[in-house]
Amino acid sequence: MSARRSRTPPFKACRRCKSLAPREATRCPVCGSTDLSEDWEGAIIVIDPENSLIAKKLGITRPGRYAIKVR
Amino acid sequence: MGVWRVGQSAAEQRSSRAQPRLYAVRTVAGRELDVALIMEQRVKDENIPIYAIIVPPQIRGYVIVETSAAFHAANAIQGIRYAKGVVPGVLRYEDVESLLKPEAVVETLKPGDIVEIISGPFRGMKAQVVRVQPGKNEVVLNVLEVEYPLQITVPGDSVRPARERGS
């Protein structure tokens, strides 16, 4: 079985609002929560929430980086 | 009058052009997030009308871009080493939405089902579901590929239903 090389992601995800924060952060820059997780999957980078249908469907109103799944 | 009409149709054309669509961008597997982050920076620097970039967890080697036209996506990936090109064709919103809202696997499992363990020390092994605890998002399994009975409790995200091989 070939071992897949796993790289550490450069972000942590907030369990409360799902936004991605830098690895060094201890607090979520969006909601202020300290409940950050390194175990997350998938990302959505919202640049223009007003024109983005996906952002509207997911209820995202602020531009930023979000995780899809946070454990 | 005529000029006014021309102006109106141009505005209509512009509004129809601004309609967001989803395009897939092929990337080197494992470098999806890198491509998305470089694209994000470029979109901000060069004011490219890309509204959102999606890195779906289930699909390796693809990034989904929400923009009004494929050439905007092509512009944004130009020169990125790990991006291989824009896939011709448009994706449907319903299909992408189902990638973004994955249903909890635990709720679809019942005792007796065969599952594959996809993370942790037993990764790659098949197991049989003994009990499901949806409240805790956990599932109790009997590992099938060991010579002695082994019961383990794993998070619901660590298993996926095993595919039946065609007979």
Beta carbons of B109 and B159 less than 8 angstroms apart: yes
Inside any domain, residue B113: yes
Token pair in block for residue B59: 């699909």
Q: Is residue B167 part of a domain?
A: no
What tokens appear for B154 in the block? 């794993």
List the B62-67 sheet strands across, edge first.
A64-70, A40-46, B50-55, B62-67, B21-27, B83-86
Report yes or no: B124 and B117 within 8 Å, Cβ to Cβ: yes
The pLDDT assigned to A6 comes to 56
Task: Inspect the interface and report whether the beta carbons of A54 and B55 lie closer than 8 Å.
Answer: no
At B165 the pLDDT is 52
Query: Distance between alpha carbon B69 and the CA centroid of its chain, in Å?
Result: 20
**ipTM reported for the complex, 2 dp:** 0.86
Q: Which residue of A has its CA nearest to B54?
A: A44
Which of B100, B123, B146 represents a domain boundary (last residue)?
Answer: B100
Are B63 and B85 spatial neighbours (Cβ–Cβ below 8 Å)?
Answer: no
- Supply the pLDDT for residue B8: 44
The whole-model pTM stands at 0.68
Closest by Cα among B14, B56, B66, B1 to B32: B56
CATH number at residue B34: 3.30.70.940
**In the 8-state DSSP scheme, what is residue A58?**
H
Instruction: Give a yes or no: residue B142 inside a domain.
Output: yes
Q: Are residues B137 and B84 in the same domain?
A: no
A17 is in an annotated binding site: yes
pLDDT digit of tens for each residue in chain B (167 aa)? Answer: 444 444 444 444 444 456 888 999 999 988 888 999 999 999 999 888 999 999 998 889 999 999 998 888 888 888 889 989 889 988 888 888 888 876 667 778 888 889 999 888 888 899 999 988 877 788 999 999 888 888 999 988 888 888 765 43
Asked whether residue A50 is marked as a ligand-binding residue, the answer is no
Residues 6+ apart with CB under 8 A from B137: B104, B106, B155, B156, B157
CATH 2.20.28.90 fits A11-70, yes or no: yes
Q: Would you say A48 is a known binding-site residue?
A: no
Smallest CA-to-CA distance from B118 within B70, B57, B46, B40 is with B57
Residues of chain A contacting residue B33, judged by C-beta atoms under 8 Å apart: 9, 43
Q: For testing the chain A interface, which of B16, B94, B100, B158 should be mutated: the one with the most A CBs within 10 Å? A: B100
Instruction: Please report the number of interchain residue pairs, chain A to chain B, with beta-carbon separation below 8 angstroms.
Output: 82
CB atoms within 10 A of CB A54: 22
* Closest to B102 (Cα-Cα) out of B156, B24, B43: B156
B89 and B115 together in one domain: no
> What domain range includes position B58?
21-100
Average pLDDT value for residue range A11-19 = 88
pLDDT at A16: 85
Q: Which residues of B touch A45 (CB under 8 A)?
A: 36-37, 39-40, 52-55
Residues of A in contact with B58 (CB under 8 A): 42
b/e map of B133-150 (b: 16 or more CB within 10 Å)?
eeeeebbebebeeeeeee
